[in-house]
Structures are given as structure tokens and as C-alpha cells.
Amino acid sequence: MSNVSLPIGGRNFAVSCADGEEAHIEMLGRMVDERARKIGGQQSETRMLLFAALMMADELHEAHKGAPAPDAAQPVTPAPASIESTEIDPAMVDRVNALAERIEKLAAALEQGPVSA
């Protein structure tokens, strides 16, 4: 396990991840930070993270609406990494959903106040 520090909305968050996943988690953190910075203003940290998560969830929802429904009879096989694809990778959707759940839990914990170490 590795720890990654993610600067999001002017604050650093420590996140644990599997070895080798650091660059991917950092990239996801930059995506969240980008949305959090768009929100800006005098929002509380909790609300900023909530709105960033909602923006990302909305983008994911729109992507789902535009994607063709998978055929249950045929398994989805990912395209080779060297070929650009317009299809959404179901594994990536699962990862984004898992991250959204983690963000919701973080937001809930932040709403409860500071955690003493």
C-alpha cells in the first residue's frame, strides 16, 4: 500500500492506494481539484467537495446516457491501450462510482467536525 497526498481545493488529503496506482490516483485528484476550483467562493470545504462530487456525478450520468446499453449476451472487452475508444470502460465507471462513495463518506465525516488523532 502507498499513500498519496492530493491537493484539492487548497487542502491536502492523504489517500491510501495499491502500489503502482499512485499516478492514477493523483490524476483523479487533479480532476476533483479542477472542479473544486471552479466552484471556489466562500463555500465550506464540505460543500465544495460535495459540489465537486455532484459535478463529476453529473458528467458521469451524461456519459452513461450517451453510451449504448451493453448487450448482455456479449461481454465488453476493453480496447487496446494504443487505440482511442469512444466507449466507456465499465471498470472505470466502477472506479469512479467507488471514488464518489468515498467522497460522500469524506464529506459526511467533514460535516461532523474535526477528527482528533
**Sequence spans of domains, the chain:** 2-66+88-111
**49 C-beta neighbours (distance < 10 Å), count:** 24
Give the pLDDT confidence of 32-63 residue by residue, as tens digits: 898 888 887 677 888 888 888 888 888 888 88
pLDDT tier at 78, thresholds 50, 70, 90: low
Q: Could you give the CA distance from residue 115 to residue 109 in angstroms, rounded to a whole number?
A: 8
Q: Is residue 73 over pLDDT 80? A: no
Measure the CA–CA gap between 70 and 11, rounded to whole angstroms: 39
Q: In the predicted model, is pLDDT for residue 117 greater than 50?
A: no
Give pTM, 2 decimals: 0.54
Pairing of strands 11-17, 2-8: antiparallel
Share of the chain above pLDDT 90, in %: 20
